Amino acid sequence: MVDVRRLRLLRELAHRGTIAAVAQALAFTPSAVSQQLSALEREAGVPLLERTGRRVVLTPAGLSLVRHAEVVLDRLEQATAELAKSRQGLAGALRIGTFATAGRTMIPAALRTLALQHPGLEPMVLEIDPADVADALRAGELDVALINEYDFAADPAHRGLATAALCTEAMYLASAADSGHGPVERVESADTSAIADCREIPWITATRGTLCRQMTVRACEAAGFTPHARHEIDDFPTMLALVAAGQGVALVPELALTDLPPGIVLTRTPLHRRTKIAYRSGAAHHPAVSAITAALYSAVPTHLVRAR
């Protein structure tokens, strides 16, 4: 009989790539992970790993077992959800991951709704880069999380996770007004040439490796040029402050357009950012996941395109 806990370790090794990474994520020692995987090989009766020096690669049999593990762990999540439905009322911790703009604009309203409808739940919010969400959900560090993707920069599919669309927001080109001061000006005509017109202007982008940075670079390339990134900033309010100071132009999502500094021109572009709710595969009907999902849908600002 194959041990489910060891299947989970094998699945994580397939996703994370190294025994050290699995050990760090799941609070094991590397030697303990190695011992458990060796025990799993004995249970399976065939080699699951190929060891070359310090590197470990899954064999074809190991990869096949990982595919079965995904199905088994999905069914266990479904079983947990069904058991939770049989209990009276919702109670206990609910760990929610979010990115900054959603945490500022949607999460507070969702938590107010949750407190009114399910006072026994104890939501715990963690700000996390969407790129780290998959690992945190599979490791059990989060129960649900908000992730996003952009035109030109779709988030890669993550095995072991399921998602539900939440909302779509427009992307705006932020530039400094000619006078350098005055009220914020907004152009809502979805100007397709606005990005191309900024080929000679410095850009303020997100840091390397982020989807937002990838979106900006690819949008500029689609307009026929490679942007000169003068500043790399992940915080949108800081990015907009630099725009107002005449330091360059930037692409920012609609949810970031609050408490704007004076002297900015915002031009709507044809680009969009889409926000999704992510959770472990099989957990969609867990009552706590359903509760926060419903609360998040009710918290989407009315001016955004709701997913449902």
Q: Give average pLDDT by consecutive 10-residue segment, the chain, 308 residues.
A: 82 83 80 84 85 80 85 82 72 94 96 95 93 87 94 76 93 84 70 88 94 94 95 96 95 93 92 94 91 95 76
- CA 169, chain centre distance (Å): 15
Q: SS3 breakdown of the chain: % helix, strand, coil, rounded to 5?
A: 40, 25, 30
What is residue 216's three-state secondary structure?
helix
- Does residue 240 share a domain with residue 223? yes
Q: What is the pTM of this model?
A: 0.81
How many domains does one find in the chain? 3
Q: Same domain, yes or no, for 243 and 108? A: no
Of the three residues 62, 84, 106, the one that is the final residue of a domain is 84
Residue bearing tokens 């560090």: 141
Co-location of 175 and 268 in the same domain: yes
Contacts of 224 (CB under 8 A, 6+ apart): 196, 199
Q: Which CATH number goes with the domain that contains 50?
A: 1.10.10.10
Looking at residue 171, what is its pLDDT? 95
Residues 69 and 143 in one domain: no
Instruction: Look at residue 29 in the predicted model and tell me its pLDDT.
Output: 83
62-67 contacts, C-beta under 8 A, 24 or more apart? 62/10, 62/14, 63/14, 65/2, 65/7, 65/10, 66/10, 66/11, 66/14
The answer on 259 and 177 residing in a single domain is yes
How far apart are the C-alpha atoms of 98 and 221, rounded to whole Å? Answer: 30
Task: Find the domain containing 79 and state its range.
Answer: 4-84
Q: Are residue 268 and residue 281 in the same domain, yes or no? A: no
Quick one: 177 and 266 in the same domain? yes
Same domain, 110 and 48: no
Q: So what's the pLDDT on residue 182?
A: 61
The pLDDT of residue 197: 92
CATH code of the domain containing 245 = 3.40.190.10
For residues 262 and 173, membership in a common domain is answered with yes
> Can you give the pLDDT at residue 166?
96
Residue 183's pLDDT is 62
96 and 135 together in one domain: yes
At 255 the pLDDT is 94
Structure tokens, 144: 């649900």
Same domain for 179 and 245? Answer: yes
257 & 174 share domain: yes
